[in-house]
Amino acid sequence: MTASLSVVTGATGHLGTALVRMLCDAGPHVRYIARPGSASRGLADTGAQRSESELHDVERLAEAMSGASVVYHAAGLISLVASDRDQLHRVNVEGTQTVLTAAVRAGVPRFVHVGSVEAFPLAGGRSPITEDHGVDPTHTILEYGRTKALGILHVLSAPTDETEVVVCCPSGLIGPPDYRGSEAGRVIVDFLNRRLPAYVNGGFDFVDVRDAAAGLIAASRRGRAGSIYLLAGSYVSIPQMMELLEQESGVPKPRVCLPVGLALPVAPVAEAIARLRGRRPWFTRGSLRIVSLGVQLDSSRARDELGYTTRPIRETIADAVAWYRDHDLTVAAG
């Protein structure tokens, strides 16, 4: 009997890389889809087969998915900047529609879609957030969250013939491997290099990217068709994160901790300076609002139905510090 084939989109991203590596550890039949000519750092040693296609080429995508027992759609654009509205919609909404169409055309029996906790109404004052709150594109904070909500609603409502759809919504991803530099990873690297001038006093739920990847695999096997699963970790305040980074790295944390209320007026200036320098801003008005909410998340459904588990945040931070140093992404020494 031929072993089942797993296909992954977005494999060069933070979660996608962790997922492909985990799938390859379990068996050799893994294929990932990448943009033509794009780098695949972190995947060369996995043995996974590479197939090239643009995200909106349904014919090429369907060909790459031929023979797959499951497709993991992890491709997506993450941006905290409102000016990326058009690109966010093209990738997270239109791209998702095309990828699902290709999976259905290829006769893939299982489609695991990666959403985001930001697709939920986080500012509704209801905590902890569970899947029963539902995704809502009219009550998201960032444009990113709105487009992820629209993508989720599409895959759950589109006619899919024999293709079963399961949606997983991770919280803030953190930890290794992180070859392309995630949002959280960039902050950690800047911390290690003593380039982080200050931090704010908010917080968010963070999940180890390896635990999220394991959750996706569990969802492909045990998730109920048509269901959404929150893949959260643990709520960590930004000051707690700074303390953990200091303890695990030996690098002193920044001396300045800004209340979110004081940082908000500065955010437009920080965004403008980042654009001029060709960098992503450390924070935006939207991200500050999110970390100010103190939102708690409940992953009981994933734990009960998928066997989903997470590791302590300290372990994730320790592994991240070691990984960034081992991969020469920081020059700081403890």
Give the pLDDT confidence of 285-313 residue by residue, as tens digits: 778 888 889 899 999 999 999 999 999 99
Domain membership flag for residue 287: no
Q: How far is CA 83 from CA 6, 144, 325, in A?
A: 35, 11, 33
Cα torsion through 28, 42, 75, 6, rounded to 10: 0
**pLDDT reading at 261 higher than 60:** yes
Domain membership flag for residue 79: yes
Residue 292, SS3?
helix
* Ramachandran angles phi, psi of 83, nearest 5°: -70, -10
Domain membership flag for residue 24: yes
Domain membership flag for residue 198: no
> What is the tens place of the pLDDT at every residue in 31-41?
999 998 887 78
Q: How far is CA 151 from CA 59, 77, 90, 132, 147, in A?
A: 20, 12, 11, 18, 6
The pLDDT value recorded for residue 229 is: 98
Chain center to CA of 325: 22
The pLDDT value recorded for residue 328 is: 73
The pLDDT value recorded for residue 274 is: 66
> What is the tens place of the pLDDT at every residue in 156-180?
999 998 999 999 999 999 999 999 8
What CATH code is carried by the domain that includes residue 64? Answer: 3.40.50.720
CA 21 – CA 43 distance, rounded (Å): 7
Domain membership flag for residue 257: no
Contact 11, 73 (CB under 8 A): no
Give the count of alpha carbons within 13 A of 301, CB side only: 19
Domain membership flag for residue 163: yes
CA 141 – CA 154 distance, rounded (Å): 20
Residue type for position 198: A
CA torsion sign for 146, 148, 154, 157 is: negative
Question: Would you say the pTM of this structure is higher than 0.75?
Answer: yes
Domain membership flag for residue 106: yes
The pLDDT value recorded for residue 332 is: 41
Residue whose entry in the numeric block shows the structure tokens 């539902």: 134
CA 39 – CA 181 distance, rounded (Å): 14
**Burial category of 279 from C-beta neighbours within 10 Å (exposed 0-12, middle 13-18, buried 19 and up):** exposed
Per-residue DSSP letter, 111: E
Instruction: Give the number of domains in the chain.
Output: 1
> What is the tens place of the pLDDT at every residue in 131-153?
999 999 999 999 999 999 999 99
Chain center to CA of 73: 11
**pLDDT reading at 243 higher than 50:** yes
CA 304 – CA 299 distance, rounded (Å): 9
Structural domain that includes position 126: 5-173+208-232+296-311
**Burial category of 193 from C-beta neighbours within 10 Å (exposed 0-12, middle 13-18, buried 19 and up):** middle
Residue type for position 330: T
Domain membership flag for residue 323: no
